[in-house]
Amino acid sequence: MASSEEVRSPVATQILDGKSIAADVRKQVAAEIARIKGTHPNFQPKLVIIQVGDRKDSNVYIRMKTKAAEEVGVVFQHIKLPRLTTEDQLLSVINDCNNDEDIHAVLLQLPLESDHNIDAEWCTDAISIDKDVDGLTVFNAGRLSRGDINNCTIPCTPLGSLELIKRTGASIEGKNAVIIGRSKIVGTPMSQLLIWNNATVTVCHTKTNDLPSIVREADIVVVAARQPKLVKESWIKPGAIVIDVGINSVPDSSKKSGFSLIGDVDYPEVLGKAGWITPVPGGVGPMTVAMLMKNTLQCAQNILEKDSAGTGWSLRLLPLALQDPVPSDIDVARSQTPKPVTELAKEIGLRIDELEPYGRDKAKVSLKVLDRLVDKPDGKYIVVAGVTPTPLGEGKSTTTIGLSQALGAHLGQNVFACVRQPSQGPTFGIKGGAAGGGYSQVIPMEEFNLHLTGDIHAITAANNLFAAAIDARIFHEKTQSDKALYGRLVPKVKGQRVFSPIQVRRLEKLGIAERDPDKLTPDEIKRFSRLDIDISTITWNRVIDTNDRYLRKITIGQSTTEKGYTRETQFDISVASELMAILALTTDLSDMKERLGRIVVASSLTGQPVTADDIGVTGALAVLLKDAIKPNLMQTLEGTPVFVHAGPFANIAHGNSSILADKVSLKLVGKDGYVVTEAGFGADIGMEKFFDIKCRASKLQPNCVVLVASVRALKMHGGGPNVTSGQPLDQAYYEENLPLLEKGFSNLQKHIENACSFGVPVVVGINTFSSDTPKELELVQRLSREAGAFDALICSHWATGGKGAKELGAAVMRACTTAENNFHFLYPLDIPLKDKIRSIAVNIYGASDVEYTSEAEERLGRYESQGFGHLPICMAKTHLSLSHDPTRKGRPTDFVLPIRDVRASVGAGFVYPLVGTISTMPGLPTRPCFFDIDLNPRDERISGLF
């Protein structure tokens, strides 16, 4: 007698058409990509498939994926490696893809076809978890197994199979599901996917007993066994959903190819029994490709969301163990254990491929981060400047770090501090380091104050290569005929002469159209070969990062081999090199190369500017500086991030840290975050140059100025006794004297007025010393507010860290968000150089007029005629007075500003008038800092830095 099942009427099976459903999925992916591009124009998902060998079936699958990628708008790259590829070579390619930020999704096409043993699982696991588009790494598999399905990539075939099941309209929850096959690619992830969709799942395999009876209980059957027609009609529960993942090639003489593709399910038999069934081909296959496109989009979206997130960082803050009295700076620094720089980088949203660690505590950051975050809004931009300081300094660097610690560790804001790298000269001379002080420092202090990552050494090497090239060129022009000189400049190599790219640029500059070196006329050869440098106009000096007074004037060329060519020149300290100013003002590698090429080192005998391009050294300089251009990541004592980058001299250059450090940090903090950057010397120098030079180059707009003042400095400006570095303070600075303080406030008042004249709100930070009295501090607060400051706060960050600058931080936040801001430059660029100089002298310094030496007049005329009149002005004057005279304190008036000479840093992009005598090579004092600096050979601990 027949069973009831056998006499049951056939089911009207519905076909799950994978082709049409896949087309719908691809359409959705394409629409989503177009939608995101509407708000993020640079959004472009990119998929890379890596293939080893030349398997025909793999080639077919890759062609299908290529077509789908083109259809939805995904950039597709196929990396096809030969059979000779080794495991190490494959891993290297995978690593390159992981580190390429333009690539969002990476797939290793399996199986691999290599003549060498390659561990496919090991190589698959090498794919970055964020780019594992097929969800096959152990990390994604682990997340899926524990149900973290919203935080992992699901393998494409199971994901496509799930989508097919959902398209039936049937509920998965509570259903019995049977998976035939337990592979890592399909069976296992499919079972987990159905479990987390609330099905009751049984996984069957080759060791399963009585497989048909188990399958008969299933509402959902997924078959991935690689056995043709394994599943028969008698196995299927009427109305069940059958997903056939198998694809098998079987002989078929009726086909032109000689074979047919069939699944693991006996399709003709089951067709009348199942409720839904997928055909083979045309079922799961197209869905796998469609889900690959969907996963690629999701990988790209995940990265975009991370990059665009405006949420706060999750910093592991470092607690301070405050002591009273405060120990030495180096002892304070050593009392704190910094976080690994890799941990800090992860906390602030940097990718591992954007970080280049230099040991445990410092790292360079790739400029690629700017491309990744190009659509992310910038944070708030704060510049820290100061009153005209005493020779002891008033704590501007310490306030920069203390304010950053306050905003990050105590007010919960995303914040970056950006400071200059200190020169070795003052570190071993008289000033000491520049890492801040007390409980507001950059750590590790030793790393900060010594070599860091070698940027200053790179500047030194590049500068001196350039200097050597200039003198060598003069020597060779003096000792060779036109023909011999040209023959060496454009030598024959294997019988042919070829102009190098930089020589082509010189031809273009000279207006010579011929590009065949053998066809230049004698006149063209002479013009091309001879720079005819006027030795009296050379402005490029050699540099060294040491205070060495005996290098202030030297004679070069005294060897007999130089054939009588000698000249007087000098050494500057390395941070005074124009290359350092360029490093601080450049915006990317291309911009740096252009600036380097524009450097003017002299004039020719006919008055034409001689540039780095003319010397032929531009590319070599760029090579030496290619790593120095990347900002250096460090941290404060409380674990907030710091960029330490560039260190231009604050008088003959602009004295600010790099534009690139500011730009990267503004992106990393996000629109609600803060970047605190320091300007060197008093506000009349550093702040004015920050606005009129740095902000012009960066196109960044400041939100707030913090002016650092101290009672000590204001008393000095009121007529107090001289303050001398290395000498004890006079007793007058330890006694309350309100009239003296009020008189000296005129200096701070002028700086407040200057800052307000740029249209930016000003917050005064009063850096306290133990000798300050409450009445003195209250007086400075009141007078500052009356002078136009947005607010004035008393700060104790040196003694208490960020906690001591918390009120200052809160005021800065209010100023950035509520105060009126109408930022503008002091002068336009299209007025004559003299008018720009006068504008600074009269409006910022308070001078009544400007006077020029004949030499300064001659230089200004030359620079105007050479086309440099459009450049901004970088005044080089003393930092110890608003005037040119360091003895005139307070707020000098009725003085004429003398311009002794004028120089041009054309590559950096400014003209710098010399006001009085400016030394670019400091000397060592009688007792330099190095008397106290020592190294313990047992534990390599450094002592004596401060």
The rounded distance, in Å, linking the Cα atoms of 501 and 667 is 35
Kindly state whether residue 687 falls inside one of the protein's structural domains. Answer: yes
Q: Looking at the structure, do residues 160 and 24 belong to the same domain, yes or no?
A: yes
Residue 873 pLDDT > 90:
yes
Same-domain status, 97 and 216: yes
Residues 812/674, Cβ–Cβ less than 8 Å: yes
The domain tally of the chain equals 4
SS3 675: strand
Q: The domain that contains 23 carries what CATH number?
A: 3.40.50.720
Residue 204: pLDDT over 60: yes
Residues 613 and 676 in one domain: no
Contact 925, 893 (CB under 8 A): no
Residues 381 and 439 in one domain: yes
Whole-angstrom Cα distance, residue 473 to residue 339? 50
CATH code of 871's domain: 3.10.410.10
Cβ density class 425-450: b for 16+ within 10 Å, e for less: bbbbbbbbbbbbbbbbbbbbbbbbbb
Each residue's pLDDT tens digit, 623-664: 999 999 999 999 999 999 999 999 898 778 899 999 999 999
Domain shared by 256 and 386, yes or no: no
Task: Report if residue 570 sits inside a domain.
Answer: yes
291-332 per-position pLDDT tens digit: 999 999 999 998 888 766 556 799 999 999 999 999 988 889
Quick check: helix, strand or coil at residue 547?
Answer: coil
Element (H, E) at 439: none
Q: What is the pLDDT of residue 248?
A: 87
Q: Which CATH number characterizes residue 587's domain?
A: 3.30.1510.10
Mean pLDDT value of segment 74-99: 95
Residue 849 falls inside a structural domain: yes
Domain boundary among 608, 625, 642: 625
Residue-wise pLDDT for 667-723, tens only, equals 999 999 999 999 988 999 999 999 999 999 999 999 999 999 999 999 999 999 998
Establish if 946 belongs to a structural domain.
no
Q: Which of 277, 296, 315 is the last residue of a domain?
A: 296
45 phi/psi in degrees, rounded to 5? -60, 140
- Report the Cα 414 to chain-centroid distance in Å: 16
Grade residue 906 by pLDDT with cuts at 50, 70 and 90: very high
What confidence score (pLDDT) does residue 946 get? Answer: 62
Verify that 164 and 73 share a domain, yes or no: yes
Is 931 part of any domain? Answer: no
Task: Tell whether 27 and 175 lie within a shared domain.
Answer: yes
Encode pLDDT of 111-169 as tens digits: 999 999 999 999 999 999 999 999 999 999 999 999 998 889 999 999 999 999 999 99
Regarding whether 583 and 647 lie in a shared domain, the answer is no
* 566 and 655 housed in the same domain: no
65 part of the active site: yes
Instruction: Give residue 432's pLDDT.
Output: 53
Q: Please check the confidence at residue 103 and state whether its pLDDT lies above 70.
A: yes
Average pLDDT over residues 262-281: 93
pTM across the whole model: 0.81
Within 507-591, strands assigned E span 542-544, 554-556, 567-569, 571-573
Cα separation, 779 vs 532, in Å, equals 63
Question: Which of 818, 844, 866 is the C-terminal boundary of a domain?
Answer: 818
Residue 316 within a domain: no
Which of 65, 396, 806, 877 is catalytic? The answer is: 65
Map residue 720 onto helix, strand or coil: coil
In this predicted structure, the answer to whether residue 566 has a pLDDT above a threshold of 60 is yes
pLDDT at 430: 62
pLDDT band at 7 (very low <50, low <70, confident <90, very high): very low
* Residue range(s) defining the domain that contains residue 382: 329-453+627-818
Q: What are the pLDDT digits (tens) for 690-705? A: 999 999 999 999 999 9
| pLDDT averaged over every residue in the chain | 92
| Claim to verify: residue 752 and residue 877 sit in the same structural domain | no
How confident is the model at residue 3, as a pLDDT? 42
Mean pLDDT of 494-518: 95
437 forms beta bridges with: 440
Cα–Cα dist 511/70, whole Å: 46
For position 674, which CATH number holds?
3.40.50.300
The β-bridge relationship of strands 380-386 and 105-108 is unpaired
In a domain, 320, yes or no: no
Contact 322, 77 (CB under 8 A): no
> Residue 5: which pLDDT band, with cuts at 50, 70 and 90?
very low
Q: Which amino acid is at 403?
A: L
In this structure, is residue 942 part of a structural domain?
no
**612, 644: one domain:** no
Verify that 292 and 414 share a domain, yes or no.
no
